Structure 1
Amino acid sequence: MKPVIDCIYTDGACLGNPGPGGWGAVLYFQDGSVYEIGGAERETTNNRMELQAAIASLQLFRDSGQTKPIQLYSDSQYLIKGLTQWLKGWKKKGWKTSTGKAVLNQDLWQLLDQLNNSLVTWKHVPAHQGIAGNERCDAIARHFAQGQQPNLKKTLEFPLTANSDTVAEVKQTIQSETPEPIASKTLANPMEELEERSLEDSRLIQGDRMTGLNHLIESLRIADEIAQKGYLISSSELAELMNVNASAVTSRGSHWSWRNWVVSRVRREGNQILWQLERAEG
């Protein structure tokens, strides 16, 4: 019996943003099998790596010929909201944003649009919260971004179908982004080795900070668009935007401030409380 994909996790990483980047994806199967993939680019951005991880995953899902729905998990709001909320508007505007600017990473978004499947449900997960699939993808992506070749788990053999053309396409995509092995260096003394490790640690810390800032800027941009267009959002959506628990939203009362916005409770619809964001004066 052909193994059935249960869910997929994807992630991207970038040192410097822009800088060396990597991506990783883990496919989990209903029989307990695991299939991991990843790759790298020498000069890229974190967002492009997030998109590339999703592209490679969708290529493999398409190649499997599976008709059973799956869920694809990512900690990238940029990826999830882009596919589920912004893409339709971008296409109507000729790949322009609501402000008339050209959509960034249009080449990857167009490929994602072609590969996206109604059988795939896109789910956002918080980063670095101990979720096994998310943590593993993050580790794979970071290894590739650092120019290292991680030990990828493949407890079953791909392809899952006999379509050799599409299999070759997937393998070519992945292999073309696999970094060349970094030549080993002979260090003169232990202090030199310590200094090199410290430098690499500082680069990783900088990369983490830049990734965090990148997510923050994206969240603030989304909040500004919600306020400008007068959208109403639920407590859970607001909590996701603020990166807090839903209880932290509902416990604040009906009118409060968050960063550059005033948040007001508007009404209740069924079990959901709807909120409005307004840009604070000054």
Structure 2
Amino acid sequence: MPTQSIIQSIYTDGACTGNPGPGGWGLVVYFSDGSVHEMGDSSRYTTNNKMEMQAAIAALEFFANSGQTQPITLYTDSEYLINCVTKWIHGWKKKGWKKSDGNPVQNQDLLEILDQLNNQLIKWQHVRGHSGNIGNERCDVIARSFANGQIPSLQQLTSPVNTDRTSTKINEVNVTKVSDSAINSTKVNENNAESSTFSSDITTMELSTVSETTTNEEKPHETRILQLRNLVETLQIADEIADKGYLITSSELADLMDIHASAVTSRGDQWRWRNWIVSRVRREGNQILWELERGDQVEAENE
């Protein structure tokens, strides 16, 4: 990176097919001189939230390794990630990484790394997913390409900034506990050099076909059991949201369902998802708030 180039902003995103299932993350770094640096990686078995966190970790590591002292804005479409890092983490640490209900906080290992890397130079900024924002859309393409087993062409800078994810102790933790990745960033860069000319057509890249994912029957028994446990955990979270009457945003609902945020709003004002009736309640600013109700309870009340 030229000495006069200053990092202005970094966009991050994570993706997962199955949630849990194969995942990927991507980030795009924008510099003051107009140059761009892109990174990403994959994980064989993970969750969407883990990939969102991994992308943010990679962004913070890149910024730390740059030695820059000017502040930057870090953009993400995950309100959950922003709340974790800027709000909830302080209380969790005081309570010994326990939630208000006494249960352990999920993804503590990743949150500890994020907390270690975060500093006053980072301005966390939420951006609406799939709303036409170029940085967010590009990160989504990178993340989903990796999640689908593809290796996208990435714009890379020839710079002294250390972008090797395995270069520090923190990165070693990420590789062993999070990514378990079959393709590390170094291999990605080598493959990119040999790949065909980069296509800027996001739609084409997003719609390109990939080989079929291994069926559940072909997966090890332990993996299938872990998938079921994670599914039950997701359903328990949905049940708690419904039971407590919590209202959640479109992006939070999309994270819960493992779908695009745009797919939430396109379904209308009321629809069914698994055991719950999902209803649009109201709009607060730019956010649409949704309510979950147990379908069996609604049906019983209507009888």
TM range, smaller chain: 0.5 to 0.7
Q: Which residue of 2 is the match for residue 265 of structure 1?
A: none
Give the 3-state SS of the residue equivalent to 2:167 in structure 1.
Answer: helix
2:80 is aligned with 1:78: yes
Q: Residues of 1 paired with 2:83 and 2:137: CA distance?
A: 21
Q: Residues of 1 paired with 2:65 and 2:247: CA distance?
A: 37
Q: Residues of 2 paired with 1:27 and 1:149: CA distance?
A: 18
Normalised to the residue count of structure 2, the TM-score between the two structures is 0.60
2:37 is aligned with 1:35: yes
Q: Residues of 2 paired with 1:6 and 1:50: CA distance?
A: 20
Q: Residues of 2 paired with 1:83 and 1:9: CA distance?
A: 16
- Name the aligned partner's letter for residue 157 of structure 1: T
Q: Residues of 2 paired with 1:2 and 1:166: CA distance?
A: 24
Q: Residues of 1 paired with 2:14 and 2:164: CA distance?
A: 27
Task: Kindly indicate whether the alpha-carbon contact (under 8 Å) linking 2:24 and 2:145 is maintained by their aligned counterparts in 1.
Answer: yes
Q: Residues of 2 paired with 1:133 and 1:93: CA distance?
A: 36
Aligned CA-pair RMSD: 4.1
Going from structure 1 to structure 2, the CA distance change for 1:219 and 1:114 (only over 3 Å counts) comes to farther
Q: Which residue of 2 is the match for residue 108 of structure 1?
A: 110
Task: Kindly indicate whether the alpha-carbon contact (under 8 Å) linking 1:38 and 1:178 is maintained by their aligned counterparts in 2.
Answer: no
Q: Which residue of 1 is the match for residue 257 of structure 2?
A: none
Going from structure 1 to structure 2, the CA distance change for 1:243 and 1:128 (only over 3 Å counts) comes to farther
* Unmatched tracts of structure 1, length 5 or more: 182-196, 204-209, 227-240, 250-256, 262-281
Q: Deviations over 1:74-133 (max 9, x none)?
A: 011111110111000000000011111100001100011111121001011111101000
Give the 3-state SS of the residue equivalent to 1:168 in structure 2.
Answer: coil
2:92 is aligned with 1:90: yes
Q: Which runs of 4+ in 1 moved over 6 A?
A: 163-167, 170-176
Aligned-pair distance for 1:147? 1.0
Task: Kindly indicate whether the alpha-carbon contact (under 8 Å) linking 2:25 and 2:40 is maintained by their aligned counterparts in 1.
Answer: yes
Q: Which residue of 2 is the match for residue 138 of structure 1?
A: 140
2:246 is aligned with 1:224: yes
Q: Residues of 1 paired with 2:4 and 2:89: CA distance?
A: 33
Task: Kindly indicate whether the alpha-carbon contact (under 8 Å) linking 1:20 and 1:145 is maintained by their aligned counterparts in 2.
Answer: yes
Q: Residues of 1 paired with 2:70 and 2:239: CA distance?
A: 33
2:157 is aligned with 1:125: no
Where in structure 2 are the equivalents of 1:2-17 lying within 5 Å? Answer: 2-17=4-19
* Unmatched tracts of structure 2, length 5 or more: 188-208, 216-230, 249-279, 294-300
Q: Which residue of 2 is the match for residue 26 of structure 1?
A: 28
Q: Which residue of 2 is the match for residue 179 of structure 1?
A: 183
Q: Which has the larger radius of gyration?
A: 1
Aligned-pair distance for 1:158? 2.8
- Name the aligned partner's letter for residue 167 of structure 2: A
Q: Which residue of 1 is the match for residue 203 of structure 2?
A: none
Q: Deviations over 1:47-69 (max 9, x none)?
A: 00000000011001000000100
Q: Residues of 2 paired with 1:219 and 1:124: CA distance?
A: 25
Q: Residues of 2 paired with 1:164 and 1:179: CA distance?
A: 15
Going from structure 1 to structure 2, the CA distance change for 1:178 and 1:8 (only over 3 Å counts) comes to farther
Aligned-residue identity in percent: 49
Q: Residues of 2 paired with 1:243 and 1:37: CA distance?
A: 37
Going from structure 1 to structure 2, the CA distance change for 1:40 and 1:259 (only over 3 Å counts) comes to same
Going from structure 1 to structure 2, the CA distance change for 1:220 and 1:71 (only over 3 Å counts) comes to farther
2:196 is aligned with 1:157: no
- Name the aligned partner's letter for residue 55 of structure 1: I
Going from structure 1 to structure 2, the CA distance change for 1:167 and 1:198 (only over 3 Å counts) comes to closer
Normalised to the residue count of structure 1, the TM-score between the two structures is 0.64
2:285 is aligned with 1:246: yes
Q: Residues of 2 paired with 1:225 and 1:49: CA distance?
A: 24
- Name the aligned partner's letter for residue 183 of structure 2: P
Going from structure 1 to structure 2, the CA distance change for 1:164 and 1:90 (only over 3 Å counts) comes to closer
Task: Kindly indicate whether the alpha-carbon contact (under 8 Å) linking 1:147 and 1:179 is maintained by their aligned counterparts in 2.
Answer: no
Give the 3-state SS of the residue equivalent to 2:132 in structure 1.
Answer: coil
Task: Kindly indicate whether the alpha-carbon contact (under 8 Å) linking 2:58 and 2:165 is maintained by their aligned counterparts in 1.
Answer: no
Aligned-pair distance for 1:2? 3.4
Aligned-pair distance for 1:165? 9.8
